[in-house]
Amino acid sequence: MANVSLVENPKGALQRMSFRYSQRKFGRIVDPVRAAANHGGVLVAMGATETVVEKSWNKLDLSLRWLAIQATAGAIGCSWCTDYGYFEGVNQGVDPQKVRDVFRWRDSGAYDERERAVLEYAEGVTSTPAHVSEDLVARLKELFSDAELVELNGWVALENLRSRFNAGAGLRSEGFSESCDLPAGYLAGPDRAGVI
């Protein structure tokens, strides 16, 4: 159950516009929009951020971006983001083995050097306190341009915002992954999304 009320009937232009956007993007009015609709300033800030990101963050390869987002959501334990991330990865054509193994990437043979660096980075930046080793920084600089690194950092930071907002608001999976071949136990428990 959510920790805040979820707006059911939008009032005013801002809520109606946000609900229409959610319907177009997700095929339904999602709980993060319903929760944010309780505060116009939060709703505007989140909507503006997502709009700018959608239109202008295009330096990092789509599958690498997805890995960073999914690893971040899993590290935080946000079942909403893990659920939607799985759905998004499958629908974007990310290799199904990579989709299944993201939460056990260290033991999986599915990832190349760049992908492993992204997963390690997302995990390190999301930890508390954040920790990125000098060795990882050196590897990242060999593998990515500065623009790609800045965008990677942006994706991890943005997913921290999304996942922590959703987890803090008590939002849970809305069943996006049900339209995919989700392995049993993928969204195991409220404390650790993604653990099989």
Contact 81, 91 (CB under 8 A): no
Inter-CA distances, 177 with 7, 71, 89, Å: 24, 16, 10
Band of the pLDDT at 192, cuts 50, 70, 90?
very low
Beta strands in 55-187 (DSSP E): none
How much is the pLDDT for 120? 98
Please give the residue that has the higher pLDDT: either 189 or 143.
Answer: 143
Band of the pLDDT at 183, cuts 50, 70, 90?
low
Counting residues of the chain whose pLDDT is more than 90, the rounded percentage is: 79
Locate the domains of the chain by residue range: 12-56, 62-179
Q: Which two tokens stand for residue 77?
A: 């334990």
Average pLDDT over residues 152-177: 95
Q: Which two tokens stand for residue 62?
A: 């789509």
Mind listing the pLDDT tens digit for each residue in 94-129? 888 898 899 999 999 999 999 999 999 999 999 999
Q: Looking at the domain that runs over 62-179, which CATH code has it been given?
A: 1.20.1290.10
Q: Give the number of other Cβ atoms within 10 Å of residue 154's Cβ.
A: 16
In the block, residue with structure tokens 């629908």: 91
Neighbouring C-alpha atoms within 13 Å toward the C-beta of 175: 3
In the block, residue with structure tokens 């229409």: 20
- The pTM of the full predicted model, rounded to 2 decimals, is 0.88
Cis omega (within 30 of 0) for bond into 129: yes
Q: Give the number of other Cβ atoms within 10 Å of residue 48's Cβ.
A: 10
Instruction: Give the total residue count for the chain.
Output: 196
